[in-house]
């Protein structure tokens, strides 16, 4: 009996042919995932089932000249998980990031995703995951836009104009039929100009590069934040439109009022509880807080100025309880998204199945018959 079972390798072009760039479809799939998160039909890493993943953390300095040391956006991370529903698959996203990549003509992060048979552990698919990952990262705030922002919103501010916020804007735009005007802000004006050009041509919107952050924010009903860790944004709450929906997909520095006075909706409460557990178990809790988007929020909770994480609302719960949505509209809402392997599994599974249907990719096999040890 041969135990050979081919698995697929999908290069980036294969993933494109399989539809990885279809932002609208990705938003629908990610909305499904929020439903599964709320129901509990998933497992992420660790004994609490909710860890973001496990990184290789580079030290600030090292006596070993070859050892990588901490640098902008520099890390490796493994993000394992199981996702239920119609996906019903295990897998692991694994990536290395280094800001210095961009000077070499490479993306800041190089990502792959492996999908595995949940029963046997056999690989089903290894895929290039750069486009997959940015698509799902963009789709998550777009699901929030669909459910938390005003359906008539016509203006967006884009804070940080790299590939992540491009993916966010592309996905958010699919949810805003009245979108007319987009403000672009970046510490590098050329990046803002480039993204504005793309938006003008692709989305047909008024695209305005704005070098003053306060001005960029003042007219925006939706704000998407995804700036590099190289220099986090500093935002004052009173700069924001009174009914703005602020979608946070990257680190942000804001005054306390931003966290204390706005309605905060999390991507998934249990994920943030796991972040705090891991920070507590780490050698330096404050350093761990510094490394995650929710850090400023966790500090306010630790200080007793906000209720415990378990009392926060998350998006999956909003989707399942329409009554919670009535709370939106009359006030400012902040949505915090930190990245979860279940979104990679869902969108990766879609691309994998489409690739199978279209006959894309390179079949590989671990063995014809496993070596009889």
Query: CB of 164 within 8 A of CB of 223?
Result: no
Burial class (CB in 10 A: 0-12, 13-18, 19+), 298: buried
Q: Is 1 a residue that touches a copy of itself (CB under 8 A)? A: yes
HSE-CB of 158 using CA atoms within 13 angstroms: 33
Give the residue among 219, 111, 238, 204 at the shortest CA–CA distance from 164.
111
Q: Give the up-direction half-sphere exposure of residue 334: CA atoms within 13 A in the CB hemisphere.
A: 22
Interaction between residue 352 and a copy of itself (CB under 8 A): no
Is residue 284 near a copy of itself by the rule CB under 8 A? yes
- Which x/- pattern, by CB under 8 A, does the window 353-372 give for a copy of itself? ---------x-xxxxxxxx-
Which listed range, 122-130, 177-185, 260-268, 332-340, lies at the site for a copy of itself (CB under 8 A)?
Answer: 122-130
Q: Are 62 and 69 in contact (CB under 8 A)?
A: yes
Name residues contacting a copy of itself, limited to 165-224 (CB under 8 A).
166-167
**Strand (E) or helix (H) holding 27:** helix 23-39
Give yes or no for residue 94 binding a copy of itself (CB under 8 A).
Answer: yes
Is residue 50 near a copy of itself by the rule CB under 8 A? Answer: no
Among 85, 81, 95, 4, which Cα is nearest to 43's? Answer: 81
Of 151, 190, 260, 287, the one binding a copy of itself by CB under 8 A: 287
Q: Decide if residue 8 touches a copy of itself (CB under 8 A).
A: no
347 in Cβ contact with 179 (< 8 Å)? no
**278 in contact with a copy of itself (CB under 8 A):** yes
Give 24 or 96: the residue with its C-beta nearer to a copy of itself: 96
Rounded to a whole number of angstroms, the minimum distance from the CB of residue 186 to a copy of itself is 15
With CB under 8 A as the contact rule, the residue among 60, 61, 105, 242 that binds a copy of itself is: 105
| Cα distance between residue 180 and residue 209, in whole Å | 14
Q: Which stretch binds a copy of itself (CB under 8 A): 103-111, 208-216, 221-229, 311-319?
A: 103-111
Task: Answer yes or no whether residue 131 interacts with a copy of itself by CB under 8 A.
Answer: yes
Report the site for a copy of itself in 72-91 (rule: CB under 8 A). 76-82, 84, 88, 90
């Amino acid at each position: 009996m041969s135990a050979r079972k081919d698995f697929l390798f999908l290069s980036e072009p294969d993933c494109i042919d399989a539809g990885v760039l279809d932002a609208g479809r990705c938003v629908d799939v990610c909305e499904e995932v929020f439903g599964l998160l709320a129901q509990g039909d998933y497992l992420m890493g660790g004994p609490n089932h909710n860890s973001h993943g496990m990184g290789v953390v580079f030290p600030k300095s090292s006596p070993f000249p070859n050892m990588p040391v901490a640098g902008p956006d520099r890390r490796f991370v493994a993000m394992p998980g199981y996702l239920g529903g119609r996906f019903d698959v295990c897998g692991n996203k694994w990536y290395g990031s280094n800001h210095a990549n961009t000077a070499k003509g490479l993306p800041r992060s190089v990502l792959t995703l492996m999908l595995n048979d949940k029963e046997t552990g056999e690989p089903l698919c290894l895929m290039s995951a750069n486009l997959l990952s940015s698509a799902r990262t963009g789709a998550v705030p777009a699901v929030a836009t669909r459910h938390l922002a005003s359906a008539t919103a016509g203006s967006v501010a884009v804070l940080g104009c790299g590939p992540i916020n491009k993916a966010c804007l592309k996905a958010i735009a699919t949810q805003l039929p009245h979108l007319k005007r987009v403000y672009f802000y970046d510490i590098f004006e050329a990046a803002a100009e480039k993204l504005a050009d793309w938006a003008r041509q692709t989305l047909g919107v008024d695209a305005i590069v704005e070098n003053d952050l306060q001005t960029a924010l003042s007219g925006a009903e939706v704000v998407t934040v995804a700036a590099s860790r190289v220099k986090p944004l500093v935002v004052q709450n009173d700069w924001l439109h009174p009914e703005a929906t602020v979608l946070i997909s990257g680190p942000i520095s804001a005054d306390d009022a931003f966290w204390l006075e706005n309605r905060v909706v999390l991507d998934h409460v249990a994920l943030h509880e796991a972040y705090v557990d891991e920070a507590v178990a780490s050698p330096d809790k404050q350093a761990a807080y510094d490394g995650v988007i929710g850090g400023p929020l966790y500090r306010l909770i630790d200080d007793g100025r906000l209720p415990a994480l378990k009392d926060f609302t998350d998006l999956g719960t909003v989707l399942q309880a329409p009554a919670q949505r009535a709370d939106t509209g009359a006030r400012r809402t902040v949505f915090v998204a930190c990245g979860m392997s279940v979104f990679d599994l869902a969108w990766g599974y879609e691309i994998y199945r489409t690739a199978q249907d279209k006959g894309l990719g390179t079949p590989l096999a671990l063995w014809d018959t496993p070596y009889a040890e």
